[in-house]
Structure 1
Amino acid sequence: MSTSVQEPALPPADPASIDMSASADRAARRVVARVVFPEDRDLDTLPLYVDFAPYIGVDPATRIDPGAPPKADSRATPVTISPAHSEYIRGRRSFAIPAGERVSFGSYFNAFPAAYWRRWTDVANVRLTVRTSGSPTVIVYRSNAHGATERMSATRLGEGEWSIDLSLAPFGDGGWYWFDLAAGIEAAVLESAEWSVPDRGLERGGTTIAITTFNRPDYCAAQLRQLGAAEGLLELLDEVLVMDQGTKNVVDQPDFAECDAGLDGKLRVIHQRNLGGSGGFARGMRETLGAGRSRYVLLLDDDIVLEPEGIARAVAFADECATPTIVGGHMFNMYERSVLHSWAETVKEWLFFWGPVTGTVQAHNFAVTNLRATAWLHKRFDVDYNGWWMCLIPLEVIDEIGLSLPLFIKWDDAEFGLRAGKAGFPTVTFPGAAVWHVPWMDKDDTTDWQAYYHQRNRWVVALLNSPYPRGGNLISWSLRGDLKHLLALQYSAVELRLQALEDVLDGPDRLHADLPTGLAKARATRAEFSDARTKRDLDAFPTPRRVRPPKRGKTPELPKSLTQ
């Protein structure tokens, strides 16, 4: 909960340091991140923007070695659950602080990911600029890769603008900057705040957005409306492409004219056959290359909710990167808005399967354990690829390595990231840029028609990228996966996996040939098996009967681990 504090015994800030220095140098700065708040004052997302908890760091007793954190320690940071006060939000960039209360902006969306700027750009310092009314105290903090917190400054403000320049030198392996505001005996208001870097006159990247959609016209239209309504976003965009591959088209939505008008003539809808995510995004890449206007193409899924500020941040970061860099956003759960899908992802080369980078925790809930109190979130994690729910790709990368492979779905994003990495183009999953996406973790798509694409594309990408003879342990684990499905009587999945391997052996030309027809064939194959036939009513199935009681009274349980 918000904590009541006495006004610190600090000298008032020198008016010159509050306003004049910042005003004189503003033209020589580039804003790379604005402090923002939820557009709809959503209580479920508010913990990603503002932290009301009094706790300001990780417990020293549970501070971990981020290089290889024990699982117990990685979850042993203190849990601080506090009420969220959406009524304090005055606007997209303004926040009220009642008298005697203190709030922290050391949050996912409003802290500054200093370690990522230190590693991937040539920027040497960042400036925090805060504009306030009332007389709050601003306290600036930084952390290191272990989550240890250091207070950098504490200044009582007045009406106007205050700024501080902060070095990025200490952040080689991790760490953040953030600030807290504490109101004294009178209420205060954060009018706005922003993080800026020296404007070195670098080329600023125009961006084309490429959205692939299939029979989700309502989701897609909502996303287009959000893009058009976002303050200042259209200035960054050259074009918004929608690759509509379905039979329920976005142009038929009642509000499509409103979407088109909001994007000020920059919207273009392309109708094509259903070529999957890879085919849709490849078309977006190709169209962007052909237009010759943009520096980047931003790939977005259709079933997401945006934080528009994240797009501006990703573009600014990519502009400042020392080499052309793929900049990806995080994915939050659309149904549990404060839950992160994964912080950083990699391809485990021995098994050749994707997964979280060692040291991170999947499904982290920021409403339960905030950024400041979670040690592993303070380390910088490098990745092999980023999911294409949100991924900014420089056209220079596509021009050199080509379009995404014709894989339909599954593994296209991972393969592209691996291919780019081999060519010298890194991928960064960038904190502060994110979307909310419909989750898929509550279903097992390895047992439906997608089993074909899981198996085929994993083998294709392994053949192209595995550093081990015979793919490491891929063959063994693939066989275990077949046995698992057989023992579970999932015969359709086994047949699809075998069909996938046969198609791999047919050679690479089969990928293009099957791109428009593979889905129908996979569904037809699966339909031949009884395990693929579903019913809505559980009573439509025979009642299970036991021949013998369970051994020693123990009821069967799901396996503790599943082979891939």
Structure 2
Amino acid sequence: MSTHPFPNSQRIASFREADRPAGAVNGRGPAGSAREVTLQRVLLDRPVPLRPLYWTLAALSPLAPCPPAPEPGPVLRIPAGAVLGFDTYFNAFFEGNWRARTALGTLFLRLDVSGACTLRVTRRTAMGETLLLERRLEGGPVRVPIPDGAINFRQHGLIAFSIGTHEGPVEVRGGAWVTEATPRPVGLAAVFCTFNREKDIAAVLAALTSDEAVLSRLARIHVVNQGRPGLAEHPAIAPIMARHAAKLRIIEQANFGGAGGFGRGILAAIDDPAATHAVLLDDDIRIEPDSMLRMAAFFGLATDETPLGGHMLDMVQPMRVYEAGAVIRDANWSFHPQHHGLDVSDPGNLTALVDPRAIHFNGWWCLGFPLSLVERLGMPLPVFIRGDDVEFGLRLYGAGVPAVAMPGVGVWHEPFYLKLGSWQLYYETRNMLVAAALHLGTAPRGIAVRMARALLLHLLTFRYYSAALILRAIADFLRGPEILDSAPAALHASLNAIRERYPAESVPRGVVLPDHEPLSPPPHRLAWLTRLVRALAESTLRPTNPGAPPRRLEMAAFGWTRLGRMDCLALETWWDKDLPVLRRSRESFRALIGEAIPLLRRLLREGPAVGARWREAFPRHRSVPFWRDYLGMPPAEPTAEERAAFAARTGLGAASLGTAAE
């Protein structure tokens, strides 16, 4: 039986010269027959708490009081003497990635207004602000061309508009940023992986399916359920399934982690004749539905295989960007999330988003890419959770197709600072060791030093469970790539056994605790070394005081250099309901150090050979046939037409069909 990995490969959009949008000139500007393409809609009806991300209201005169805000809805009624501004995160048009990565032609602003008003359109670059035009409107639908005329990409920027009212109120009925083009067909397959979050996934499905324009751009929605069975019958899901049975597909499988869930969804998209692109989305997000429409428009005009990432907005602080893609510094594997903490409710801060930043990867809270990339570069790795997006991003980056993170394409997600000290640290550490072996080319000594520092950081702050997870991750990395061949359930269960050895402790937030006065940071290197020797001696020699009461320490001062002589601390994180308690244990410190020293020696000595084994197994673990077998799926049997299309496209004989992508 054939094991052809891409049964619908002739339907997967490619980006060869012949596949550019019809009439495109050098892949840039459309020529000949074209139609109006909506790039992004002007959004008017979003919730009041999020209003600064969509539109602002001010008085026309700086001396006049601000008029009352209109009620949000499909039509906004602007009172006389007001300015409705769309210089906002979700309604401005950030043209940098569009100009660089797509066949974007002339840009137009389409508006439908009633009543006399003044339209003001501006382009703001990283160098300053330039007025484009000011135009008097008398009402009705209008389409305003936005002149380009740029002689250098630095002249592209953020394009926004405002509507000023004078004699009387004006109604804004809708609008969009549009262009004239002939886009390639795009079928987005939205892929969700979910685990016991029925209400969360129901909410995001409702958001996507309730918007007809968005739903029309989705070829399919694949929800891979790895938690409680019977998701389709859940009271919150069943009505959505009944209304959208043709679009929505729920796949039940055992728990293979986020990597296994997304992998199963990618395979479903590959098998779907209507799908050309996959969009990976977390189940616990709140999504701006227009993100899907914008991604579909981008892919329809794209001149290459660029993956497109959405920004992650902080669900706890919803006006702030948590991450807009990330960069990894090779020297110490430090992650640098781009635009972290940027307040995007302030229009003045949006200038920071004008220049597209290069990134190594974009997280899978929202990442879209052509399925042709999977055909060419393989599937993600089956690493259960954490790091699959990093490895996949580094792989694409190394192949010359780095992802871009697009302002105005975004989801709200639980920020990672809410998940400190969890079992996920095991996967983060092991999978980063794998990614380093495959892509980063880090020297063995650098890897060992990096792991030693991570261990000391956790041991000297009494986080023995975390240190034990790091040690287990190093040991499993040294076992080699065979660890990925087996179902992950037994491994995951063994991590719970480690937790039992180091039980968590907390204290209610309402308890009044004495404060710990942290030491000042060491002023120079000699002081830092002296403090390190003292901390090691304290942890190794001073007996444990099991009855020591906790003292409260602010998170900002949490670091081993600032603890001093301390036995028990309650960490004041502003996000935890109860304060986590960390208790010093001489016995745990000695046991873990005794385990760490020989393991780090092994990592230094055996690391290069183990890394070579990971690289040797890499093509197999990223292949579609491996993934089908790993998940217990039957191999896909290609049709005669698919065999012929494969042979025509690749120049290989039909007999090669089963092994070409392996």
TM range (shorter): 0.7 to 0.9
User: 1:26 and 1:219, CA in 2 relative to 1: closer, same or farther beyond 3 A?
Assistant: farther
Deviation at 1:257, TM superposition (A): 2.3
Match of 1:365 in 2: 343
Q: Is the 8 A contact 1:50 1:106 kept in 2?
A: yes
Aligned: 1:450 with 2:424 = yes
Question: Does residue 284 of structure 1 match 2:265?
Answer: yes
CA contact (8 A) 2:221 2:248 kept: yes
SS at match of 2:190: strand
- Partner residue, 1:376: 352
- Please state if 1:33 is matched with 2:33: no
Determine the structure 2 residue equivalent to 1:51. 56
Indicate the residue corresponding to 2:131 in structure 1. Answer: 151
- 1:413 corresponds in structure 2 to 389
Change in CA separation of 1:550 and 1:421 when aligned onto 2, cut-off 3 Å: closer
Shift of 1:85: 6.3
* Partner Cα distance (1:51, 1:428) in 2: 28
Alpha carbons of 1:452 and 1:550: their partners in 2 closer, same or farther (altered >3 Å)? closer
Cα distance between partner residues in 1 of 2:482 and 2:103: 43
The amino acid of 2:72's aligned partner reads I
Query: Whole-Å Cα distance in 2 between the matches of residues 343 and 520 of structure 1?
Result: 33
Structure-2 residue corresponding to 1:230: 211
Structure-2 change in CA distance of 1:121 and 1:492 (3 Å): same
Distance 1:496 1:308 in 2: 38
State yes or no: 1:392 paired with 2:365: no
Partners of 1:417 and 1:306 in 2: CA distance: 22
Structure 2 alignment gaps of length 5 or more: 1-31, 521-551, 561-662
Give the SS at the match of 2:361.
coil
Residues 324 and 362 of structure 2 are in contact (CA less than 8 Å); yes or no, is this contact kept in structure 1? no
Equivalent of 2:501, from 520, 528, 533? 528
1:12 is aligned to none
Aligned CA distance change for structure 1 residues 34 and 511 (closer, same or farther; 3 Å): same
Partner in structure 1 of residue 113 of structure 2: 132
Which whole-Å CA distance do the structure 1 matches of 2:257 and 2:449 have between them?
29
Identity fraction in percent: 29
Once the two structures are superposed, the pairs formed by residues 459-474 of structure 1 within 5 Å of their partners are 459-470=433-444, 473-474=446-447
Determine the C-alpha separation between the residues in 2 that align with 1:392 and 1:490: 37
Q: List aligned pairs for 1:234-273, cutoff 5 A.
A: 234-247=215-228, 249-273=230-254
Would you say how many aligned residue pairs link Structure 1 and Structure 2?
493
Q: Where does residue 175 of structure 2 map in the other structure? A: 193
Higher helix share: 2
Deviation at residue 139 of structure 1 after TM alignment: 0.3
The whole-number CA distance in structure 2 between the counterparts of 1:287 and 1:428 is: 25
Instruction: Tell me which moved more, 259-268 or 203-212.
Output: 259-268
Map Cα deviations across residues 481-535 of structure 1 (whole Å, 9 max, x no partner).
Answer: 1001111222221111111111111111212326333221111122112xx3335
Displacement of 1:262: 3.2
Partner of 2:379: 403
- Matching residue within 163, 168, 173 for 2:143: 163
1:557 Cα deviation from its structure 2 partner: 6.3
User: 1:484 aligns to what?
Assistant: 457
Contact in 2 for aligned 1:315/1:392 (Cα 8 Å):
no
The alpha-carbon distance between structure 1 residues 271 and 406, as it changes in their structure 2 partners (threshold 3 A), is same
- For residues 158 and 176 of structure 2, what CA distance do their matches in structure 1 show? 15
- Mapped to 2, the partners of 1:430 and 1:259 lie a distance apart of 29
CA contact (8 A) 1:215 1:248 kept: no
Relative to 1, partners in 2 of residues 1:319 and 1:129: Cα closer, same or farther, differing over 3 Å? same
Report the AA paired with residue 390 of structure 1.
Answer: C
Question: Over residues 335-360 of structure 1, what are the superposed CA-to-partner deviations in whole Å (9 max), with x where a residue is unaligned?
Answer: 33222212342222222232224xx3
Match of 2:406 in 1: 430
Contact 1:101-1:182 at 8 Å conserved across structures = yes
One-letter amino acid matched to 1:157: L
1:343 aligns with 2:324: yes
Query: SS at 1:87's partner residue?
Result: coil
How far off is 1:538 after superposition?
7.5
1:269-308 superposed Cα distances (whole Å, 9 cap, x missing partner): 1111111111100000111112232111111111111211
Task: Give per-residue Cα distances to partners, 1:196-238, cap 9 Å, x unaligned.
Answer: 1221x23220111111000101111122222211122222222
Which 10-residue stretch deviates more, 421-430 or 205-214?
421-430
CA-CA distance at 1:137 after TM superposition = 0.4
Kept in 2, the 8 Å contact 1:124–1:168? The answer is: no
CA-to-aligned-CA distance 1:391-447 (integer Å, 9 cap, x gap):
112100111111111111111111111111222322111111111122232341xx2
Q: Is the Cα contact below 8 Å between 2:67 and 2:79 reproduced in 1?
A: no
Contact 1:298-1:392 at 8 Å conserved across structures: yes
> Does 1:320 find its partner at 2:301?
yes
Alpha-carbon displacement from aligned partner over 1:322-373 (angstroms, at most 9, x marks no partner): 101111111222233222212342222222232224xx3x122233xx2345
Could you tell me how far apart the structure 1 residues matched to 2:377 and 2:261 are?
18
**Following the alignment from structure 1 to structure 2, what is the Cα–Cα distance between the partners of residues 537 and 156?**
61
Shift of 1:321: 1.4
Whether contact under 8 Å (1:97, 1:183) holds in the other structure is: yes
Q: Does 1:87 find its partner at 2:81?
A: no
The alpha-carbon deviation at position 46 of structure 1 amounts to 0.7
Cα displacement (A) at 1:386 = 1.0
Asked if 2 retains the 8 angstrom alpha-carbon contact of 1:207 and 1:239, the reply is yes
TM-superposed deviation, 1:375: 3.7
Q: Which residue of 1 aligns with 2:492?
A: 519
Query: Which residue identity is paired with 2:146?
Result: L
Q: Does residue 214 of the first structure (1) align with residue 198 of the second (2)?
A: no
Find the residue that maps to 1:157 and give its secondary structure.
strand
| Corresponding residue of 2:618 | none
Question: Deviation of residue 88 (structure 1)?
Answer: 3.8
**Equivalent residues of 1:118, 1:169 under 8 A apart:** no
Q: Letter of the aligned partner of 2:435 in structure 1?
A: V
Q: 2:473 aligns with which of 493, 497, 500?
A: 500
Q: For 1:402 and 1:106, locate their aligned partners in 2 and report how far apart those are by CA, in whole Å.
A: 40
Secondary structure (helix, strand or coil) at the match of 2:484 reads helix
Q: Tell me by how many angstroms 1:109 deviates.
A: 0.7
SS state at 1:403 partner: coil
Q: SS at the partner of 1:117? A: helix
DSSP-derived class of the 1:186 partner:
coil
SS at match of 2:489: coil
Matched residues in 2 for 1:539 and 1:387: separation? 36
SS for the counterpart of 1:513 is coil
Task: Give the partner amino acid of 1:132.
Answer: V
1:68 match: none
